Structure 1
Amino acid sequence: MKKFLPITVLISVLLAGHSRVALAQTPANPPQRWGSWLIGTALLPGSPENKWGGFAEVQARTDAVFWKYFYNELKAGISYDLDKTFTVMLAGGRYATSNYRALEDGPLNVEKRLWLQLVLNQYLDRLKIEHRYRIEQRWFAYRGDSSGTRQRLRYRLNAFLPLNNKTITDKTVFLSVYDEIFLNPDGPVFERNRVYGGAGYQFSKHVILQVGWVNQANYNLPVIQQGQFIPQITSAKNNVVVSVTYRIAHRKATSPTEHLPSQQD
């Protein structure tokens, strides 16, 4: 019996060590459940005859796929086409975050946002590329009467590929992918990254449907709390995106113009 004792002790030590390693490898932020973004947009693009345009949009987000609603956005803006490839926009919105378990208590946080935006489009034969630059001013009002302000810079690189036509026009199936970075001058400088991939169908010059996937990763600065160092935390969430756009045409628009089916978010 005594000759088995060292082996028993060794096995116990190895098991204990393995348990500690497994515990240490447990991520601080375990993977989150999939959510969903539901987006409805009314869009008035500019035309060669009338360069002014605008949009209005409502968006709802859920913590699980199509249920556990907790977040909404209301946005609108005006745009002006400098030419076919350059568009500037001034827009604003209201963003409310709630606890899906207690919606009757009202929002936990309401953000109001104003932004200036420049969009550059490139039409490379079949491939279409959009560069979007945005400067945001943000105002926060938290439950409990606290408030704050923040600025943010955003850049999005978006590519579109029509599959059954050379241009994105009526009855066109297309693919869309983008990556967008969010920069915060106050830190963390690299605040967020958003990656999207999806497919869409333009039924007519008015109606466009897109369905896709988006992964949104948020980054927080490392901090020291109660004498303990907490490293940078990254929280990422996958979402199903369903977007419907109703495009309004200018009455005086006569020449057909290809417009990229960009999402306004």
Structure 2
Amino acid sequence: MSYRRIKNLVIFTLLFGLSSSVYGQSSEDKLGSWYIYNGFFNFNPTFELFVESQLRNWETFSNPENFFFRPFFNYNLNQNFQTGLSLEYHKTWTYDENPGNKVSTDEFRTTMQVMLHHKISRVALQHRYRYEFRWVDGNHLQRTRYRVQATVPINNATMEKGTIFFNTNFEFMVDTKPSVALSQLRNYFAGGYQFTDNLNLQLGYMVISRTTSVHHRLQFFLTHKLFFYEK
């Protein structure tokens, strides 16, 4: 991959990050954190169970903000095109220094997803489209999402054991029910290490921009894959 292409990718990502920061009006003074597990369980080349669970904190090591469990049932039409359907449970807490004063909200969600993959030189690009049906404390909401992601191996040409890599993505979300409105923007930067062909760890930083606030979050990201067939 040429230096010019890498430079253009970095500039493109930084511009998205700047747009996210400008969108929010005020910055939250707490540095929060997300602890993320992603598991890919492949039963054959066509069917995959993807399991994601997250604990999100208002502060780096304390004050829970959100917990969710999200299994996706995925179908691969080919190597570069995947569809999926999820059934999800989310629990969210308001911010308060006193745990006894925190108010919780339960959400059940069904999500339809389409993912497209392609490569430019060694850069792996992913386009993810989601449409969410959300039931939040009895209220029916809907939202659409689009995320573009780039993963670049640094010291190897491919994502193999021992690879150091850079990952970045940009996502926007738009509420569609009860009314159409921009919900939030997310910009993510991370470095990672590939321990085996099927296990990696990322440490990242995300800027989340809403109409009235900007949130800054550290991300600790464990991803692993299991194959129940011979590749």
What is the RMSD of the two structures over their aligned residues, measured on CA atoms? Answer: 2.1
Instruction: Tell me how far 1:251 sits from its aligned partner.
Output: 2.3
Contact 2:173–2:185 under 8 Å retained in 1: yes
Partners of 1:76 and 1:148 lie apart in 2 by 22
SS at match of 2:29: coil
Contact 2:27–2:215 under 8 Å retained in 1: no
Query: 1:41: which partner in 2?
Result: 38
Q: Does 1:53 align with 2:53?
A: no
Structure 2 unaligned spans of 5+: 1-23
Instruction: Tell me how far 1:168 sits from its aligned partner.
Output: 1.2
Query: 2:214: which partner in 1?
Result: 236
Instruction: Tell me how far 1:28 sits from its aligned partner.
Output: 7.2
Q: Does 1:158 align with 2:152?
A: no
SS at match of 1:33: strand
The AA in structure 1 aligned to 2:122 is R
Query: 2:104: which partner in 1?
Result: 108
Contact 1:32–1:236 under 8 Å retained in 2: no
Question: 1:192 is matched with which residue: 173, 178, 184?
Answer: 184
**What is the number of equivalent residue pairs in this alignment?**
206
Question: 2:206 is matched with which residue: 204, 207, 214?
Answer: 214
Partners of 2:87 and 2:194 lie apart in 1 by 27
Aligned positions of 1:62-211 closer than 5 A? 62-99=57-94, 101=97, 103=99, 108-141=104-137, 147-186=138-177, 187=179, 189-211=181-203
Q: Please say which of residues 64-73 and 236-245 is displaced more in the overlay.
A: 64-73
Contact 2:28–2:216 under 8 Å retained in 1: no
TM-score, length-scaled by structure 2: 0.82
Contact 1:96–1:107 under 8 Å retained in 2: no
The AA in structure 2 aligned to 1:217 is S
Task: Indicate the structure (1 or 2) with the bigger Cα radius of gyration.
Answer: 1
Partners of 1:29 and 1:125 lie apart in 2 by 39
Contact 2:173–2:184 under 8 Å retained in 1: yes
